[in-house]
Amino acid sequence: MKKELIQEGIDAYIESEFPLSTFKSWDVVLSFFGSFEDKAHNESLEIYNKLPDEVMVYRGILVMDKLDGRLGVSWTTDLEIAKMFALRFKISGGTPWISKGQISKENIKYFTNARQESEVILNPDDMLWSDYEEIRDAS
């Protein structure tokens, strides 16, 4: 895949609030990031380089019925950012959860802080471990 096309896909992902409205599946998203040589957005490279060999990551989700165990590809290294994502649509109902886990830095597909979210794109199959915790004191 041409580098320019890959970069356009990455830019579209970063700029999209709801990536699956632009991309057909998480597999398509991973194909863009998996075929890109760079591991981080230009302005985020310094932060990426400072990450430890094993990175703790978080993902905030709002569950409408029951937790199904599926893991997404977009995570953050910042627990507060994950909480914000879990709670942002709480008014519509549902239960907010935080997924947390660990991944080897070498398995991170892409890192960007372009939106100040410390975002890590990863393949959930590469996680060393993961767990869920309900946000109980959410109002």
Helices (H), the chain: 3-15, 26-34, 45-50, 79-87
How many angstroms separate the CA atoms of 107 and 39, rounded?
10
Strands ordered across the beta sheet of 119-121: 110-112, 119-121, 74-76, 54-63, 95-104, 127-134
Predicted TM-score (pTM) above 0.85: no
- pLDDT tens digit sequence for 2-55: 667 667 767 777 777 766 666 667 777 777 677 667 788 778 899 999 999 999
